[in-house]
Structure 1
Amino acid sequence: MELRQLKQLLVLSETLNFHRAAERLHMAQPPLSTAIKKLEQELGVQLFDRLPGGLQPTPAAQVVLRYARTTLFYAEEIRRAAREGASGEQGVLKVGFVGSSTYSLMPRLLSEFRRDFPRVDLIIEESTTIDLLRRLDTHTLDVALVRFPVLEPTAARVTLLQPDHLMLAVPADSHHAQRDDVALSDLAEEPFIGYSRTHVPGMHALVMYAFQQAGVVPRIAQEAIQVQTILSLVESGLGVAIVPAVARRHAGSNVRLVRVSQLADTIKVGIALAVHPDNATPTTANFVEMACRLMRSEPAAMDTA
């Protein structure tokens, strides 16, 4: 039994006339008659009663037709899925992200991708930059939004999407809160909330390097992994912290972000798109192309500086 035969059966059941069915199928009538007879022999049932007024589907044909329609539908779905899969219009995309990418960038990227590729199933997972890079290298993620700059060794290609700079987060009642600019040397006696050297080694190294350049050894009171956690600790009065400027959109009312010119002018940070070069699936390529296109078309929106 072939799909071609099922289609011929379906058309014949609609026209109930071999001549008209053959015309719709763009074939001669004798081959159509032969094909239907072979199908009847293969199934072991008669599908049509040949009456003086035309053809009449038998009860057996009614059952066969129901399954034939379903089979042809799923056959077409398979063809469409293959076409869309080859073009990246259907499939699964595993996206990893760091928490700070959710402030503005990730929702915009996912919304745009969902609109352009509604048949792609998105699986999103939050983690740290070091873990996301590891998962890209082991091919358990397709793409990842990671903190920039990437200081960890990785085979992934990294493209900066959302430039940013660092600012000082202080409690609203801090004597630094009303200042326009704070120097790192002013923080020598402040309890400092830093990034975990184990889980966020890149940001930890970056901030500690900045303090070292300023000749300051920060008094570490607490370490955390996520920016939102750090902001909560600042709001609780446990200390001050260095955070990306984009975090001000979600800082609590009892937190102030103050410019640190030494950081804003010398250290560029942000959110970057990381992709392993071996991951050349059409779906991944579509996401990368879309993200880069969005970056080019909306530079003002992407730039939080």
Structure 2
Amino acid sequence: MSDSLTFRLLRYIKASAATLNFTRAAEQVFVAQSSLSHQIGKLEDNIDVAIFDRLQNGLKITPAGRIVAAYAENTLREWDQMLVMARAVQRNEVPPLRLGFSSFINAKLLEKFREGYEGMFSGCVIQLMSGDPLLSLQRLDARTLDCAILPLPIDTSLYSVQQIAQSPLVVCMRSDDALAEHAQLDIRDVAPRITIFRDPELQPSAHSRLLEMFAEVDIPIHLTCSARTPGEIQWMVKERYGLALIDQLSPLDPGLITRPLAELNWTADTAFVYLNHADHVALPFIERFLRETWTDSRRRKSPTKSRIPEQMELLV
């Protein structure tokens, strides 16, 4: 796009698209109507794009103009956010980022998130608060948390959700289990022994998704033991209460091993979550950076490495 597309012109375009009237748009941006319409017309000539159709009773935005107007609105919003953040950093006025997390989140994700945050906003503080996913979401609703790193799924109609990691679900067992001799396991053979699960009350939506996954392969779920932490799950496995599905990235206690499931792409997915319309000044920058990095990591994914856990560069 032409270098003549300055912030001033972006504001002219945004106001004109909102009002569909050059006169009312000029009043919004405190400029003469003749100057605003002339500069938009000159821009249209320079970039060879008709942004507006001029009508007798106002304006009509063109299909191409909608693209330009959306760019103008997004760019101006990001500019305003950047100014607010830059001023807050300069004045040492950035409030602590209150970050919630679930015990089922790999600790390295939190470590790398902190490193990335400090890289973006040096000297800005993170305050951690652990809790099960449902409690963390309640704290977001009550605004006692600014954001959280939680297992998916999360209701995207209520929260801004950006996936940041994905890794296969694997079967956790004792290292002396007969199944340890197999490189991969068939879910139909091993399902009756998978009896240890995360407590459904910790995140009902995640448990519902688990039920759907089992139903998709026509296998009943045998939930006889439930746990509130990864440590409890692994203790139950060691004590021979059954097998469990866990995140491949989870660190294992001594005496335990994992084996992948054959022909299934069941994954543990993790997301950065915050309340829609949350007001911490850093959140738009964090979310944008995580979104772009996750998109890049997905684009670079090799089809031959589908069993390798994926994490954003920030979190590798």
User: Does TM, normalized by the shorter one, top 0.5?
Assistant: yes
DSSP 3-state at the match of 2:166: strand
Q: Among 85, 92, 95, which residue is 2:96 paired with? A: 92
What is the Cα deviation at residue 170 of structure 1? 1.2
Q: Measured at CA, do residues 282 and 89 of structure 1 come closer, stay the same or move farther in structure 2, by a change above 3 Å? A: same
Q: Measured at CA, do residues 104 and 233 of structure 1 come closer, stay the same or move farther in structure 2, by a change above 3 Å? A: same
Which residue pairs with 2:15 in the alignment?
Answer: none
* Contact 2:174–2:255 under 8 Å retained in 1: yes
1:257 aligned to 2:250?
Answer: no
DSSP 3-state at the match of 2:209: helix
What is the Cα deviation at residue 280 of structure 1? 3.5
Q: Among 196, 200, 206, which residue is 1:197 paired with? A: 200
1:145 aligned to 2:149?
Answer: yes
CA deviation map 1:89-137 (0-9, x unaligned): 7221110111232332111011221243233221111112222222222
Q: Measured at CA, do residues 188 and 155 of structure 1 come closer, stay the same or move farther in structure 2, by a change above 3 Å? A: closer
Report 1:57-96 matches (<5 A): 83-84=87-88, 90-96=94-100
- 2-structure distance, mates of 1:235, 1:103: 22
Q: Measured at CA, do residues 154 and 243 of structure 1 come closer, stay the same or move farther in structure 2, by a change above 3 Å? A: farther
- 2-structure distance, mates of 1:186, 1:87: 61
* Contact 1:88–1:282 under 8 Å retained in 2: no
Q: Among 200, 203, 212, which residue is 1:209 paired with? A: 212
CA deviation map 1:38-67 (0-9, x unaligned): xxxxxxxxxxxxxxxxxxxxxxxxxxxxxx
- 2-structure distance, mates of 1:100, 1:199: 11
- 2-structure distance, mates of 1:127, 1:145: 11
Q: Measured at CA, do residues 99 and 115 of structure 1 come closer, stay the same or move farther in structure 2, by a change above 3 Å? A: same
- 1-structure distance, mates of 2:158, 2:92: 23
- 2-structure distance, mates of 1:197, 1:96: 20
1:125 aligned to 2:124?
Answer: no
* Contact 1:161–1:272 under 8 Å retained in 2: yes
* Contact 1:167–1:263 under 8 Å retained in 2: no
Sequence identity (%): 16
DSSP 3-state at the match of 2:231: helix
* Contact 2:170–2:258 under 8 Å retained in 1: yes
* Contact 1:92–1:283 under 8 Å retained in 2: no
Which residue pairs with 2:178 in the alignment?
Answer: 175
CA deviation map 1:203-250 (0-9, x unaligned): 322333333333333433310122332123212322101112211xx1
1:303 partner amino acid: E
Superposition TM-score, scaled by structure 2 size: 0.61
Which residue pairs with 2:290 in the alignment?
Answer: 291
1:285 partner amino acid: P
- 2-structure distance, mates of 1:271, 1:82: 29
1:110 aligned to 2:110?
Answer: no
DSSP 3-state at the match of 1:101: coil
CA deviation map 1:129-154 (0-9, x unaligned): 2222222223221111110232x576
Structure 2: runs of 5+ lacking an equivalent: 1-84, 302-307, 312-316
- 2-structure distance, mates of 1:277, 1:184: 38
- 2-structure distance, mates of 1:262, 1:207: 17
Q: Measured at CA, do residues 89 and 257 of structure 1 come closer, stay the same or move farther in structure 2, by a change above 3 Å? A: farther
- 1-structure distance, mates of 2:92, 2:291: 17
- 1-structure distance, mates of 2:223, 2:132: 21
Q: Among 304, 307, 310, which residue is 1:303 paired with? A: 310
Equivalences, count: 220
- 2-structure distance, mates of 1:86, 1:157: 27
1:136 partner amino acid: L
- Structure number with larger C-alpha Rg: 1
CA deviation map 1:10-41 (0-9, x unaligned): xxxxxxxxxxxxxxxxxxxxxxxxxxxxxxxx
